[in-house]
Amino acid sequence: MMGTRGEQKKDQITSNTDALTVSAQGEAAAEDKELLSVEKIFSSMEVPPWQKQLTLRAFVVSFVLGVLFTFIVMKLNLTTGIIPSLNVSAGLLGFFFVKTWTKLLEKSGMLRQPFTRQENTVIQTCVVASSGIAFSGGFGSYLFGMSEVVAKQSTEANNAQNIKNPTLGWMIGFLFVVSFLGLFSVVPLRKIMIIDFKLIYPSGTATAHLINSFHTPQGAKLAKKQVRALGKFFSFSFLWGFFQWFFTAGDGCGFANFPTFGLKAFDNRFYFDFSATYVGVGMICPYLINISLLVGAVLSWGIMWPLIDARKGSWYSAELSPSSLHGLQGYRVFIAIAMILGDGLYNFFKVLSHTLYGLYRQLSNKDPGTVIPLSGRSPPELPPSLSYDDQRRTALFLKDQIPTWLAVAGYVTIAIISVVTLPHIFSQLKWYYIVVIYIIAPTLAFCNAYGCGLTDWSLASTYGKLAIFTIGAWAGASHGGVLAGLAACGVMMNIVSTASDLTQDFKTGYMTLASPRSMFVSQIIGTAMGCVISPCVFWLFYKAFNDLGVPGSQYPAPYALVYRNMSILGVEGFSALPKHCLTLCYVFFFAAIVINGIRDLVGKKKAGFIPLPMAMAIPFYLGSYFAIDMCVGSLILFVWGKVNKAKADAFGPAVASGLICGDGIWTLPSSILALAGVNPPICMKFLSRGTNAKVDAFLGS
């Protein structure tokens, strides 16, 4: 789910983390069992019908985990926008909760239905669908970018027609009318994607291996140990967050403002902020991402911003406030946007070319005797060349059809409701803009789902940015184009994001013998949960923290300002940029494209030493404190791997998940305390010797 799955439930930064960070348990199980045949191991176990895969206990557990992971994703959204894959945690905790429950029932003689891998897959699908809305709902990007808090940070387009403050009612309504279209758009193509084209979907495949391994005797034992490790570090992380709270009685107080490398470095945002969340995120994200973040921080806050700051009074007025986009803040935001757009554009055309080339090869090399199975047609005979596993999986995947008429009717019905409803939520978003989006969206959803199957990259946020520029420019500045562009971004992002998520789930279901019907129903129920849970969790943050979205605060929501300024650029052009900023934007835009091109040309091995432009761009605006946290996480995992690689591989993701979950859940009681008016008792601040002497003299007088 950085978006960029960082502004993204997944973009290039986080898109590959599922495959890269699945525990050794899943990988070892994958290798060993493919040799032995996975399905022969489970051949004695009956596959329940699709209705019995959808159990009440599965959805109760999914709801609890959905709330947990929504808090985590929301906190990440509102701090840096970097969201690692939480699939391992969701699979592991889902297995643990239901397995514990069924064991208790079994001992009391009340167990009616055993816990199967199909039910585990249903939980996984539902949890990821539910928490995914916290990203695709735009609470840290386009949706919050509409608010007055973010609009005040720009001098352009901050009039009433380009502002819409968040309220629970319209947020829930908006998500319900836009979040289901992507699911219906790809359902008719599920068999072509999974059976006919045999797309890999690395994240879905890795998740399936993980779930399959849990349900073997050896895998269950390891899963218990992993849950124990996750629980220990969850408790530590939660208690550490609670302990830190006592020292945060005012602005700039607490361990999060500890000047680790000195006060001068602290002023340039170089410090370790003792965040268990980002140490855990660093343990999950590949080393290259963490190093790229640090390189970007050194380049921007260590070199560029001090040099530009020295030209204050020449390049921009010295009288401007630090948060003005006509001053140094403008360079930070717009150069970061240029790099993100350059990286996104390169990867858009790269994945599109992969998709078109892959389609061409599939269609041109297709055996004319092969029948693409369509709804209402009996399943074709399976080729004898298929392995036992593929024969069994294909037969069960084709057994439970989802009628094409249902998918088409569902898409058209929701589209009509949406076209009627959305202009009432956003008067600037005219009905004909929405119709155009819905005509184009199925094609883009297919491209995103197909590209994700080939490369594991979901470009949902890139498609969203395209909608910002096209619809914003179409609407125009005088007709609320900024708000129209942000709303259109939300519509597009939700469609293409859920489409790729569902096809990943179909792949996971295919490999665990979970029915496509149970996957589809689970995704719909999870999405519906997310449409209520995510706005409620965001509303809690919004009401509890008065400085939400303010630069330098605990929750700066950096991508909200980035997305709003993209929309302003699309509507008003480059007139808002400070002196020489456009030239620097061009340089970094093309640099991002060139760096990506070099990475692809030199091959995988050498590309591992070249930083990722998207990752480099994030600290341009935020600073390096979270990058240092993440590098500490990488260092812990690296040293652990040198000492005991097997244990690091098996327990690293569980430890990281514990650190992320504990700190993430602490935000719930801290929000409740803030709403109740309970303030921390102590302010711990760090002052220079000179300032401290002045304070002492003042207090002594």
In DSSP notation, 363-409 reads: HHS--TT-----TTSPPPPPPTTS-HHHHHHHHHHHHS---HHHHHH
Token pair 């605990």 is at which residue? 554
List Cβ neighbours of 422 (8 Å cut-off, separation of 6 or more): 174, 177, 178, 429, 431, 434, 487, 491
pLDDT at 588: 93
pLDDT at 385: 60
CB 564 within 8 A of CB 162: no
Distance CA 315, CA 311 (A): 6
In this structure, what DSSP letter does residue 545 have?
A: -
Cα angle at 8 between 6 and 11, to 5 degrees? 85
Task: For 554-590, give one letter per residue: b (16+ CB within 10 A) or e.
Answer: bbbbbbbbbbbbbbbbbbbeeebbbeebeebbeebbe
In this structure, what DSSP letter does residue 108 have?
A: T
Structure tokens at 211: 């779930």
pLDDT at 366: 55
Distance CA 105, CA 331 (A): 61
Token pair 């219906």 is at which residue? 184
DSSP 311-326: TBTTTB-TTS-TT-TT
Structure tokens at 520: 């589809």
pLDDT at 635: 94
CB 295 within 8 A of CB 616: yes
pLDDT at 145: 93
CB 443 within 8 A of CB 185: no
The domain ranges of the chain are 53-359+424-692
CB 301 within 8 A of CB 270: yes
Question: How many CB atoms are located within 10 Å of the residue 233 CB?
Answer: 21
- Residue 52 burial by Cβ neighbours in a 10 Å radius (0-12, 13-18, 19+): middle
Structure tokens at 584: 């620097």
Distance CA 160, CA 535 (A): 23
Whole-angstrom CA distances from 518 to 50, 114, 453, 506 are 5, 17, 21, 10
- Diameter of the chain measured on Cα atoms: 94
User: What's the one-letter identity of residue 334?
Assistant: F
Distance CA 144, CA 167 (A): 11
Token pair 């302003």 is at which residue? 568
| pLDDT by 10-residue block (mean), the chain, 701 residues | 41 39 41 58 87 93 92 88 73 83 82 88 93 92 93 79 93 95 88 81 80 80 83 90 90 86 87 88 85 92 91 85 77 86 82 77 59 42 68 88 90 94 94 93 83 73 85 87 93 91 90 93 96 96 89 86 86 76 91 92 88 86 85 93 90 85 84 85 88 83 63
In this structure, what DSSP letter does residue 160 have?
A: G
Whole-angstrom CA distances from 327 to 18, 300, 321, 568, 573 are 39, 15, 8, 17, 18
Distance CA 642, CA 659 (A): 21
SS3 state of residue 248: strand
CB 389 within 8 A of CB 37: yes
- Residue 668 burial by Cβ neighbours in a 10 Å radius (0-12, 13-18, 19+): middle
Distance CA 69, CA 534 (A): 10
**What is the Cα gyration radius of the chain?**
25
> With helix as H, strand as E and coil as C, how does 48-75 read?
CCHHHHCCHHHHHHHHHHHHHHHHHHHH
Question: Can you list the alpha helix ranges (DSSP code H) found in 273-385?
Answer: 276-284, 287-297, 305-309, 328-364
Distance CA 333, CA 267 (A): 18
Token pair 């061009």 is at which residue? 586
Distance CA 172, CA 66 (A): 16
CB 505 within 8 A of CB 207: no
Bridge partners, 312 (sequence order) = 316
Distance CA 336, CA 326 (A): 15
List Cβ neighbours of 591 (8 Å cut-off, separation of 6 or more): 339, 342, 613
Question: Can you list the alpha helix ranges (DSSP code H) found in 365-403?
Answer: 388-399
List Cβ neighbours of 386 (8 Å cut-off, separation of 6 or more): 394
User: What's the one-letter identity of residue 479?
Assistant: H
Distance CA 653, CA 656 (A): 5
Ramachandran assignment for 274, one of left (phi > 0), alpha (psi -120 to 50 degrees), beta (any other): left
Question: How many CB atoms are located within 10 Å of the residue 260 CB?
Answer: 13
List Cβ neighbours of 474 (8 Å cut-off, separation of 6 or more): 433, 481, 484
User: What's the one-letter identity of residue 474?
Assistant: W
Of 184, 165, 202, 160, which Cα lies nearest the Cα of 480?
Answer: 160
pLDDT at 50: 93
- Angle of helix 431-455 relative to helix 481-512, nearest 10 degrees, comes to 40
- For the entire predicted model, the pTM comes to 0.78
How many Å from the N-terminal Cα to the C-terminal Cα in the chain?
Answer: 55
